[in-house]
Structure 1
């Protein structure tokens, strides 16, 4: 359809976090309806070949869009995994520090417990 198009995006529901909006727009000629007469009297075999090329083009475009969608999902999941991994590493370091401090505290306590005190 001919004309001027306007796309409006809003982030009113969540103003604190940024959002990424991605979309694709395919611009081209309107596909010919199946069963319509050929434009300049072409033969039936030629029309079949053109129809097959159109179908392949549509399928290839569909695969391209699916791949772009999967790349976006992969980026999001990679970010989530890296964030989770850094949290796990920090928690493990914290646990190791607590373990070392508890060990040192127990050694100090046991040394004091078994210390012989002499009364003069």
Structure 2
């Protein structure tokens, strides 16, 4: 491995470390099902829950965010995507629940991003008592921009996946419609040929007597 590849590998390793504080997952939500995810949060900590339905049905689910004291902090019905941010009032386990109970046959694929707290500064920058140097300021700015790039890439991948799924569904429906039209045309054509042959075929005397 040359030096350039080593730098690239180190870069992606550091990038993975920098975003490891964010919980991201994609899960399948069956029809008539409800799934909850739990996170213990300290009092006074900021957190954000973001979700998006990637595939399935009309791309909508129900969402609830429940506090440790069972208070419903946020509720949305039949949403395709949404984001909710709040500062935790009490310490405890918070629950983010996703429901597909209103659907009787459509499975959903759901993306969830749960961010708790603020990200730690880069090593060596958090304990500064003086102004940062130009190199440190540039590193901090690059770090923040890379995090934004990761978020943008995630959302673009989700939209691309959603668009591809919709295109595949549309292509399947168009194909089935075309097959149905082809079968109908063939049946109508055969029926017309049979009817025309009956019009121009000569009947035998025995057939005319009983007709």
Range class of TM-score, shorter chain: 0.7 to 0.9
User: Which blocks of at least 5 consecutive residues in structure 1 are unaligned?
Assistant: 32-37
| Cα distance in 1, alignment partners of residues 145 and 98 from structure 2 | 34
Could you list the per-position Cα deviations for residues 11-51 of structure 1 after superposition, in whole angstroms to 9, with x for gaps in the alignment?
35x422546142153753258xxxxxx42x5xx6x622211
TM-score after normalising by structure 1: 0.73
Runs of 4+ in 1 over 6 A off after TM superposition: none
Structure with greater proportional strand content: 2
Could you list the per-position Cα deviations for residues 58-98 of structure 1 after superposition, in whole angstroms to 9, with x for gaps in the alignment?
11110111001111111111111111111111111111000
| Cα distance in 1, alignment partners of residues 202 and 162 from structure 2 | 63
Aligned to 1:20: 110
Aligned residue pairs total 108
Is residue 2:9 matched to residue 1:9? no
Higher relative contact order (CA 8 A, sep 6+): 2
| Cα distance in 2, alignment partners of residues 6 and 54 from structure 1 | 32
User: Which blocks of at least 5 consecutive residues in structure 2 are unaligned?
Assistant: 1-40, 43-90, 123-127, 207-211
Aligned to 1:29: 120
Aligned to 2:63: none
SS in 2 for 1:8: strand
| Cα distance in 2, alignment partners of residues 51 and 72 from structure 1 | 32
